[in-house]
Amino acid sequence: MEDKIEAFLDLVRERNGHEPEFLQAVQEVAETVIPYIAEHEIYNGKNILLRMVEPERLISFRVSWVDDSGEIQVNRGYRVQMNSAIGPYKGGLRFHPTVNASILKFLAFEQVFKNSLTTLPMGGGKGGSDFDPKGKSDNEIMRFCHAFMTELYRHIGHNTDVPAGDIGVGAREIGFMFGMYKKLNNTFTGVLTGKGQSWGGSLIRPEATGYGNVYFAENMLKTKDDSFNGKKVVISGSGNVAQFAAEKAIELGATVLTLSDSSGYIYDEDGIDTEKLQFVMDLKNNKRGRISEYVDKYPNAKYFKEERPWSVKCDIALPCATQNELNGEEAKALIDNGCICVSEGANMPSTPEAIHEFHKAKILFAPGKASNAGGVATSGLEMSQNSLRLSWTREEVDARLKDIMEDIHDSCVEYGKNDDGTIDYVRGANIAGFVKVADAMLAQGVI
Ligand SMILES: NC(=O)C1=CN([C@@H]2O[C@H](COP(=O)(O)OP(=O)(O)OC[C@H]3O[C@@H](n4cnc5c(N)ncnc54)[C@H](OP(=O)(O)O)[C@@H]3O)[C@@H](O)[C@H]2O)C=CC1
Ligand SMILES: O=C(O)CCC(=O)C(=O)O
């Protein structure tokens, strides 16, 4: 079996050798799905996984815009349309200086499996730009978003490809892009999700990824007759996902000890309560400040510059910032400090070495493609509401989100149960996500 996996990975490396993040994501899937394919006659000899690692379309384009000082700036825009076997391409847009084809292909590949797991009819895609929103004025953000959409609009549509937010793209950016799409098409459709409430957005979509991650972790803890109540929780990031993961963990009786950004982390031994979290939300979402400012307001807390929070003693860890932000050594530190559950809010935040440590220690570990799927699932619910031209209540959307996270958990258990009764959520998520897409691809023939 190992030879088979290596032969497959050699082929993928030959074509994508300069794309480390993409290769990392493919390797994890190949190691769990190729043995499954070998045991299931219908998938044999069809090169299904080889087809799945090749984007159906990868669009790259110039984005020219004028900054506040009148200088012309040039960025690169992308959309990776990875797989449309089970529905229109669906996945976020990331604006960050590190964005390149490798990062977007890894994200789009993960999205295919994640969207399949949600049980909703959504294919996988991802896009974005190497544009850095930090330090830009609202007018610069608007001009960039408008310029970005003047090319992207011809490749997307409510039945073709429905982008949303990701790192650096929140409600403000979705608004600017939606405005330009509407102007260029002269149609008001649900072409983007994460929209504002008064113009087609869904209640709970802003909260959904963070809440969904906590719901997923709750389901994992339930298998051990345990819960969030009374637990110490360490969270990385302080953006959309981290904020709402913290909010839900606090609501369930946990003590949240840390939050971070790319400059460092804060540790509040007394716990980040609801009032302190409101301060962080205002700091990050309105003032666009740095997490270090937390200790100016709450001097009992400590700030650790250019460090990550994984050495803080906790029961539960929720990595909610970015890819490869938790390595093997940090995983060992978490385990040595008694951590019993790691649930990924970000996409691929744990390195392969970290995942190996979690599996070796047999602690509960959820891969992002399962545990952060609540965001895109609620985007799917936004698409349904747009098609029906109505809005569901907060309670209704939250109840659907909870059910979806429980279903995803159950699918992981179905495909990931080990002989000793423990659950390999990585294998479970990969195989459950694969089966639905592969069956659709088989039914549709070689296209
Ligand atoms: N938004 C969503 O619905 C979904 C998001 N995700 C994933 O969740 C993660 C967070 O996304 P989201 O909260 O939306 O993004 P935001 O832009 O709202 O927040 C990102 C957070 O991560 C930090 N961060 C970004 N890059 C780095 C880095 N290189 N090192 C350390 N910290 C970093 C940011 O700090 P700083 O401000 O300093 O950059 C910020 O605190 C991403 O992996 C995303 O793909 C997954 C599913 C859905
Ligand atoms: O809501 C969406 O469509 C995208 C969410 C996303 O980008 C993700 O799940 O990583």
Interface predicted TM-score (ipTM) of this complex, two decimals: 0.99
At residue 252 the predicted structure's pLDDT band, cuts being 50, 70 and 90, is very high
List, chain by chain if needed, residues with CB within 6 Å of any ligand 1 atom: 165-168, 209, 237-242, 261-263, 320-322, 325, 345-347, 372, 375
Give me the pLDDT at residue 224, please. 97
Ligand 2 centroid to 243 CA: how many Å? 16
DSSP SS3 for 253:
coil
The pLDDT value given to residue 342: 98
The arrangement of strands across the sheet holding 364-366 comes to 302-305, 264-267, 255-261, 232-236, 316-319, 341-343, 364-366
**pLDDT level of residue 112 (50, 70, 90 thresholds):** very high
Instruction: Identify the H or E element spanning 415.
Output: helix 394-416
Specify the DSSP class assigned to residue 33. H
- pLDDT score at 230: 98
Cβ distance 59 to 78 under 8 Å?
A: yes
Instruction: With H, G, I as helix, E, B as strand and everything else as coil, classify residue 26.
Output: helix
DSSP secondary structure letter of residue 262 = T
Q: Is residue 366 very low, low, confident or very high in pLDDT (cuts 50, 70, 90)?
A: very high
CA 240 to ligand 1 center in whole angstroms: 7
Active-site residue, selected from the candidate residues 90, 105, 126, 136: 126
**How many residues are recorded in the chain?**
447
Which of 265, 270, 356, 271 is closest to 319 using CA atoms? 265
What digits encode the pLDDT tens for the residues 317-352?
999 999 999 999 999 999 999 999 999 999 999 999
Ligand closest to Cα of 126 equals 2
Provide the pLDDT for residue 71.
98
Instruction: Report residue 16 as tokens.
Output: 């994508």
Structure tokens given for 379: 């985007």
Q: Is 376 in the pocket of ligand 2 (CB under 6 A)?
A: yes
Q: What is the mean pLDDT of the chain?
A: 98
pLDDT at 164: 98
Q: Which amino acid residue places its CA nearest to atom 28 of ligand 1? A: 262
- Give residue 205's pLDDT band: very low, low, confident or very high (50, 70, 90): very high
Listed in order, strand segments (DSSP E) in 180-268 are: 232-236, 255-261, 264-267
pLDDT tier at 277 (50, 70, 90 boundaries)?
Answer: very high
The structure tokens 């001097």 sit at 299
Joined together, the tokens standing for residue 120 give: 């909703």
Ligand 1 centre from 167 Cα, in Å? 5
Containing 58, the helix (H) or strand (E) segment is strand 57-66
- Cα–Cα distances (Å) from 52 to 109, 115, 151, 416, in that order, read 8, 14, 26, 21
Residue 208 CA, closest ligand 1 atom number: 3
Ligand 1 atom at minimum distance from 169 CA: 17
For the record, the structure tokens of 100 come out as: 């390149």
